[in-house]
Structure 1
Amino acid sequence: MLELCFDMSTCGALRVAQRCGGSGRKGFGFVLSRTEDGGNVTSTTVIGFDDGKAPAGEEIHQIQRAQRRQAALEREAIPLGGSPSDVLVLSLGLDMGDIREPLGADRWDLLRRWCDGDDETTDRDWQRNLEAAERLRSCGSRDAVRIWVDHTPYGACGLLHAASLLKDTKADVRVVFLPPWRERPDGVVETYLGWGEVEPELFGRFLSREEPLPPVMLGAMAHRWEVLRQENAPLRAVVNGRVRSVGEDFYDEMIRRHLPEGQTKIANIIGEVLGREKPGIGDVWLAERIRQMLSTGELRMLREDRERFYRSVVERT
């Protein structure tokens, strides 16, 4: 079974999900990231493995809560099985930019710019995209592909693009749609926008939602993708459950709603939009639109950080 997703975070989670629970992933340590102001700890976050320092107080409670949560996840875990090489990713960000050649040089250049000059990472990820696309095209009637679909614009566009790669292969294609919410055994309700928000231990729990994607649907999706390619709008968004071409200013009102009175860092604006509006896009496009607002005079640059744009301070004009 090939597992297909549309972002690197989900790709990593799927690989862990293949072997989690049972004899798979068990136990972990912690390192606490501490933010201090004048000697006072203002925040602590569990981010990794034990660095040898002895935690105390609230840090211990954080560790204990995280350990209990991990133990609960392990009890729920249903391993997907398979090999890491069976996990494919098409991380192309197809909701943004020119899509006439989704696997062409222009898309590669665009991804390189979005990765802020990290050529090594971009080149590695691009090669994985090309390999995934070729493997999908080469599927036959004996192959099965399970596509993990969520509510993000890039995921919806990724599904349509994948359909165009698979429509003539006769492969057994299935989809698992991410539900908008899930009730945990302890009664807590978790809400989801993308598969990247789901713990690896839970992926197997969603297999009951798996549905076949018949050839007629693959053909319809492939046709829809071709229409979008021909329109080649600056953006694509999910509007009333359907992927549509939209203008480059589609998210501008969301940005305006989170422009405070007075000065603020660009990072704060983007964080508010992503956290409160949950548009299902990354920070790249929002940063581009803020640059546009600066160029038109809607925003004024107060303190520019030429190395890290997000640290720059702006205000409304």
Structure 2
Amino acid sequence: MDIVFNESFGNGLAGALQQPVVGLQLDLQVGDLGRLTGESTDFWQMKAQLEGTETATELAQTVQQGIGQLQAAIDRGDAIRVWWSDHPDDRLGFMWLCALMKDVSNQLTQVKVPLERATSGAPIVFQQLVSLGEWDGNAALVFLSTATDVPASERLALSEEWTQQVAENAPLRVTVNGHTLGVPVDFWDKLIAAEIRPNKSVIWTIGRVLGELPVGLPDWWVRGRLAVLRQS
């Protein structure tokens, strides 16, 4: 079974591999991580309110369905292959998966996909990507040759890191020099506020923020911070 933590990338990868891929859009860079075990519903309520497309119950059910597919594969003894990057959603997802599989003998393989690339053709352009969602599934298949096993010792170490992230319960997480750090909820506010313009819509401002602050923030979360900033 292949698993990714970006739904868009998962859809593209499934087409390229011509087989199902579990795409868990967990948004782990934001909010209480206890939501994965059903200990908290605050995150789902916040996302549902800001995104406005599904209810909190529907969001939670979709994620739990994907987790259920993964758990069933693990219980069957299936090999698991995870695709991840340095985006905080992916790094945290990889930690979580290692915690889930630290006590099982299933083969766990990782494919780490870079968030930068040089385009083909002329002129050659160096691109820095926001998330795996910007990768074409077929283009990403080149990284299959870099797949490596995740041994029990590494699973254990990363599961301990996951436990620390859960215990810290930070409102927001960022990746700095390969380390995932918890930061205050207003960590990006000054940079977000700098993109606000008089008489411009929220949608315009969100697009501006995502373009000028290419760190892979969810658009619905930016919407929430804009609401806070406009009230201050």
TM-score (norm 1): 0.65
Q: CA deviation at 1:127?
A: 4.4
2:177 aligns to what? 240
Residue 280 of structure 1: which of 206, 216, 226 is its match?
216
Q: Is the 8 Å Cα contact of residues 83 and 113 (structure 2) preserved in structure 1?
A: yes
Residue 215 of structure 1: which of 146, 152, 155 is its match?
152
Secondary structure of 1:138's partner? helix
Root mean square deviation of aligned Cα: 2.3
**Residues 91-134 of structure 1: per-residue CA shift (max 9 Å, x gap):** 22111111124231515444433541424963662343332342
Whole-Å separation in 1 of the counterparts to 2:73 and 2:223: 33
Q: Is the 8 Å Cα contact of residues 151 and 193 (structure 1) preserved in structure 2?
A: no
Q: CA deviation at 1:193?
A: 2.9
Q: Is the 8 Å Cα contact of residues 173 and 181 (structure 2) preserved in structure 1?
A: yes
Residue 170 of structure 1: which of 105, 109, 127 is its match?
105
Q: Is the 8 Å Cα contact of residues 181 and 192 (structure 1) preserved in structure 2?
A: yes
Cα 1:157–1:15 change in 2 (3 A) is same
Q: Which structure: larger Rg?
A: 1
Secondary structure of 2:117's partner? strand
Q: Which amino acid aligns with 2:231?
A: S
**Residues 269-292 of structure 1: per-residue CA shift (max 9 Å, x gap):** 221221122111111211111111
Q: Which amino acid aligns with 1:227?
A: Q
2:32 is the alignment partner of 1:98: yes
1:229 aligns to what? 166
Q: Is the 8 Å Cα contact of residues 15 and 137 (structure 2) preserved in structure 1?
A: yes
Q: Is the 8 Å Cα contact of residues 100 and 229 (structure 1) preserved in structure 2?
A: yes
Whole-Å separation in 1 of the counterparts to 2:219 and 2:69: 25
Q: CA deviation at 1:149?
A: 0.7
Cα 1:117–1:130 change in 2 (3 A) is same
Q: Which amino acid aligns with 1:280?
A: G
Q: How does 1:1-317 map to 2 (within 5 A)?
A: 2-19=1-18, 83-84=19-20, 87-104=21-38, 106=41, 107-119=43-55, 122=59, 125-135=62-72, 137-138=74-75, 140=77, 143-187=78-122, 188-189=124-125, 190-260=127-197, 262-296=198-232
Q: CA deviation at 1:219?
A: 0.9
- Structure 1 alignment gaps of length 5 or more: 20-82, 297-317
- More off after superposition, 93-102 vs 125-134: 125-134
Cα 1:182–1:194 change in 2 (3 A) is same
- Structure 2 alignment gaps of length 5 or more: none
Whole-Å separation in 2 of the counterparts to 1:129 and 1:287: 26
Q: Which amino acid aligns with 2:29?
A: D
Name whichever structure is richer in helix by fraction.
2
Name whichever structure is richer in strand by fraction.
1
- More off after superposition, 179-188 vs 247-256: 179-188
Secondary structure of 2:110's partner? strand
Q: Which amino acid aligns with 1:228?
A: Q
- More off after superposition, 119-128 vs 147-156: 119-128
TM-score (norm 2): 0.86
Whole-Å separation in 2 of the counterparts to 1:184 and 1:89: 26
Secondary structure of 2:52's partner? coil
Whole-Å separation in 2 of the counterparts to 1:109 and 1:244: 24
